[in-house]
Structure 1
């Protein structure tokens, strides 16, 4: 059992006591409404990480986080104002505000009144989502890595491994995808794989001989990736002591799970900074828009930042397709699986997999945290 005097996360006594006071209290409830969270506390370390990974100055990083927070709050209002003409939305770095795609120019003034910019597109989000669902029903060969709705292009983008582009099975899949509706084909240099680790590689935990990373604390446990362990599997902590067991797990199809916490362990609303940045408080789970900055913590590569590239992407792992994933430009490596994706002080999701590494770059997907909370009726532990 881990001694309660050991403060693994490096929190102050004040924060630790505050966390204990909230453990196990209250029934399960929904995540906070977007835009309702307190202002993020911008530590110098977090701004430094954004400068390193996004090429920003300190003032630019702070201004971008503030603009992204506003865009997150505007997104739901703009979607409602657009109605059936809604074609998707994203954070535009150049204008520093949310841009909303519309199929009907008559809705432009109502959307602009919410604070968003407007652009016209040929296809609605509803239509593109239906095209993607039809493609989801196809059996994808290994040379097809993923597909998602791209609101900017007003197409479903199908990502193909460049070396497999001329493969007959890939060509057949693309022909069937084109028959479903408007698509665009893009090439990628690597095939996605879950970031599980064997006898090698948040905070690490172990299931059998696999090391993964804790995602976010919830009341009664923590959420993580489903491919790290099946329901009922025992979990050990960084010190080898028993934490709890997987209470629910889903992979493939989804890639999420939650683990109970007991045996002297406790939960805190914190994401580890690993000395790169101070440990980050979690204050909510308002979902950042496409184009927003996002950072990741994991037990192998620690802190890295990037941008949200796509949402609701279907990722074609060798074990089977996983749906409703968010794609980012953040790097990750084996052992980072299950770890935290966070934007400002808002929880975003748990690390699933990707391609590349943190030396040469790559892309990583996460399963959105609000989906996990809703699936298992959990309540995020917030500061």
Structure 2
């Protein structure tokens, strides 16, 4: 789900959005590090080079940072939780992005060389101010200015555009030492006019997509998953999740994954795609219920082959930690017509799905199973249904 750039603003229609930060821990021991998987997308939303927020994390955490721009990898040494980094990002936004006068994130930065200060100007209200030079990131920005073309001399005159300082920077361009992990002497530039236009068009496309109906966005995400499976990128969980969150469909996405990933070989496929599916359903009962709905539809589409295996499929969902026990029992106790006809849902449950013996887990490790139940869960045949979206 996209977040408001200024998270103090709770208006769901706030125009300035950014993707939720995705962090992935790699390595172990002394070599452990945290990769910010979508830092480029976040930086575009903030109109800042991705090195700035990455370096800010390093300053706040007392950790080294590395930038691999060729592969879009922005790394903070050590193990860091995504929620903690998201909170730190709020601090970066407050100090280096938001206008103190109007709280809008439409500010641009420039460096005044003689005074060694970082000037900022808001494009929304016109307010001009100076960035706090005491923060360690300010030193980094002074050494790696966002836009060499806006340097001013002591008389307030702009530097000659043909000066050698501009020869190696044009838009978001990097020196070779950035890719090698050296983050101390890199020069950054702001986008050129053409790049800014392209970026703005991209933002308009995103906004336009969110104006579409849920059904239209579901179809877009469905086609995205199909294309990803065809080109072999479907297991890129971060990329799949980012697209679902961009379209604000993370909770509903599992039913589409069930359709795209699974067929009669469902039991093996659940194991093969476990990590991807977990990205969407972990700790989210609504998402798990939508995934169960996708399983219902799958069994209906391959009734002859899969209905006899329904009990085993549901047990696989539990054993692989794709659906929690409470979600399974609530689903079995109250069949719904939301995904398939209610009679067929009852038929699946009559296959003794309610008798599945699940092994209680502690920290993900199964304990010895309790004795099997004597009687299956009774199905309530009343017409009253529970809509998972109302939970």
- Taking structure 2 as the reference length, the TM-score comes to 0.22
Which has more strand, going by share of residues?
Answer: 1
- Could you say which structure has the greater relative contact order, defined with CA pairs below 8 angstroms and 6 or more residues apart? 1
- Taking structure 1 as the reference length, the TM-score comes to 0.22
